[in-house]
Amino acid sequence: MLKSDTLTVLFFGKTGVGKSSTLNSLFGLNWATDDAIACTKAPQFTYLDRSHYLDLPYQQVRLVDMPGIGESVTDDEKYMPFYEEWIPQTHSLVWVTQADTRAYKRDEIFLTKLMPLFQPSLFLTVALNKIDCLGVDEGEKAFNFETGEPSEAQLRQIPEKVDDVYGIFKSVINGKVIFEKSQIIPYTSIHQWGLQNLKNKVFQRN
Ligand SMILES: Nc1nc2c(ncn2[C@@H]2O[C@H](COP(=O)(O)OP(=O)(O)OP(=O)(O)O)[C@@H](O)[C@H]2O)c(=O)[nH]1
Ligand SMILES: [Mg+2]
């Protein structure tokens, strides 16, 4: 499907959703992360080579970690040229967002701004991070940190969450690129659950 044997994968989304953490967990990197300050101020990228990462389905993968949107309007405007530069070079776009919120307005606004940069051949994945933080009702179990698995109550909530996110993103994407519900992957970057699914999806292996 790809013309070159280097796949460019770009991670983007709001500040603090866990883009850098996800890349660190997926590929054993050591990029800066923080819960209080926006860490990534300019795009950072690295090349992964199949001689080191044996499970790569491509000879080489270029991973790009973008600065997060939504810190301030000025920053968003400052970052826009980075997106204009990088999105056209991208094969696999990963929009990182988080499961523990109902507020996706900023995702919607920014995605709408970026849509003109999307070519129809782009492969989009929505990475739904922080599943461990999904709220549960009183008396129900939360994430099990010992086994690294979501609780029954959290697992029950996931399909509804995916439906919500699908509805919002689908209307913004509006047929510009292929987008099916199976392109939304729930996971948690720091507790590993779902990460392998995310990796498979980003590399378009399922
Ligand atoms: N509970 C929980 N926290 C997470 C998870 N993934 C990331 N975090 C935390 O979220 C915070 C922000 O993570 P970053 O990886 O720095 O987020 P980012 O999207 O790269 O942020 P910017 O560089 O500002 O755009 C850090 O404190 C992470 O430890 C997760 O799965 N669960
Ligand atoms: Mg970051």
Q: Is residue 30 part of a domain?
A: yes
Q: Is residue 29 part of a domain?
A: yes
Residue pair 83/66 in contact (Cβ under 8 Å)? The answer is: yes
Least confidently predicted of 25-34, 36-45, 79-88:
36-45
CATH code at 145?
3.40.50.300
- What is the domain count for the chain? 1
Strand, coil or helix: what is 164?
A: helix
Q: Is residue 130 part of a domain?
A: yes
CA 131 to centroid of ligand 1, rounded, Å:
12
- What is the pairing mode between strands 60-65 and 44-49? antiparallel
- pLDDT at position 205, please? 62
Range of the domain at 189: 6-202
> What is the arithmetic mean of pLDDT over 61-90?
86
Q: Cβ < 6 Å from ligand 1: which residues?
A: 15-21, 33-35, 38-40, 67-68, 129-130, 132-133, 188-190
Whether the per-residue pLDDT at 172 is higher than 60: the answer is yes
Q: How far is CA 119 from CA 89, 91, 92, 99, in A?
A: 10, 9, 11, 27
Of all helices (H) and strands (E), which one includes residue 96? strand 92-98
Tell me how many helices (H) and strands (E) the chain has. Answer: 5, 6
Q: Is residue 1 part of a domain?
A: no
Selection from 17-31, 55-69, 101-115 with the highest mean pLDDT:
17-31
The residue to mutate among 21, 188, 189, having the most atoms of ligand 1 within 8 angstroms of its beta carbon, is 21
- pLDDT at position 1, please? 44
Q: Is residue 70 part of a domain?
A: yes
CA 1 to centroid of ligand 2, rounded, Å:
30
